[in-house]
Amino acid sequence: MNHGEIIESHHRLREQLDLAAYASYAAELTDKALQEDESGSFLFEQFHASLTGLEEGKDAQIISHLYEMRILEAAGYAPELDFCVNCGNEQGPMRLSPYAGGALCPRCTGQDPHAIKVGEGAFKLLRLFRRMDLRRLGAIQVKPETKQELKKAMRALMDAHLGIPLKSRSFLDQLDKYNI
C-alpha cells in the first residue's frame, strides 16, 4: 500500500481532514484580509457561513471559491466578468485575465497572452460566485471538469492579487494529491 491508498482506506478520517483543511484555509484567508475588530463585518459573516456550509456537508470546494471571491472583493481585486475589461464587449467566448482584471473578449485576448481559457459552464459559475451571498448557497452539482477549471481560475486570481503563500493551501494540495 502506498500513502494514498492508506489514507483512502480511512474514509471518515479523510473526510474530517478535508473539512478541517478547508476550514483552516478559510480561517487563514480571513486572518490575512480582515483588519482588526471587524468581527461584525460582512466578510466575517461570510466566513461564518463558510464554516456552517462545511459542517452541513455542502460542496467544500465551491464554498472555498465563493469565499475566495469575497476575499478578492474585500481586497479591492474583484474581477470584472460580465464584459471585456478592455473594450466592454459582452460577446464571448471570454478568457480570464487576472492581471487585466477580469474577462477578455476574443478581440482583446492579445492584451494578455497568459489569459486563461475557461469553459462557458465554469465562467457562468464564476459570475455567480461574484454575486452570491454564501449564506444562500444551496446544494450544487458541478461536473469534475468544471471544478478543475474553477480551481485553476480562482487560483490564478488569488495568486495574481494576493500572492501570499498560504500554509493551509499547501495542506489542501497535499490532500488533493491523495484523492485520486
* Chain residues that interact with Zn ion, rule: CB under 5 A: 84, 86-87, 89, 105, 107-108
User: Which of 107, 143 has the CB closer to Zn ion?
Assistant: 107
**CA atoms of 151 and 146, how far apart (whole Å):** 9
The three-class DSSP label of residue 76 is: coil
Query: What stretches of 5-140 adopt beta strand conformation (E)?
Result: 95-97, 102-104, 116-117
Question: Could you tell me which residues are beta bridge partners of residue 104?
Answer: 95
**CA atoms of 137 and 114, how far apart (whole Å):** 31
User: Which of 53, 98 has the CB closer to Zn ion?
Assistant: 98
CB of 104 to Zn ion, least distance (A): 6
Residues 6+ away with beta carbon under 8 Å from 165:
none
Q: Are 25 and 165 in contact (CB under 8 A)?
A: no
CB of 99 to Zn ion, least distance (A): 15
CB of 92 to Zn ion, least distance (A): 10
In this structure, the dihedral spanned by the alpha carbons of residues 141, 146, 152 and 156, taken in order and rounded to 10 degrees, is -80
User: Which of 107, 135 has the CB closer to Zn ion?
Assistant: 107
CB of 96 to Zn ion, least distance (A): 13
CB of 149 to Zn ion, least distance (A): 21
User: Which of 46, 109 has the CB closer to Zn ion?
Assistant: 109
Q: Are 156 and 68 in contact (CB under 8 A)?
A: no
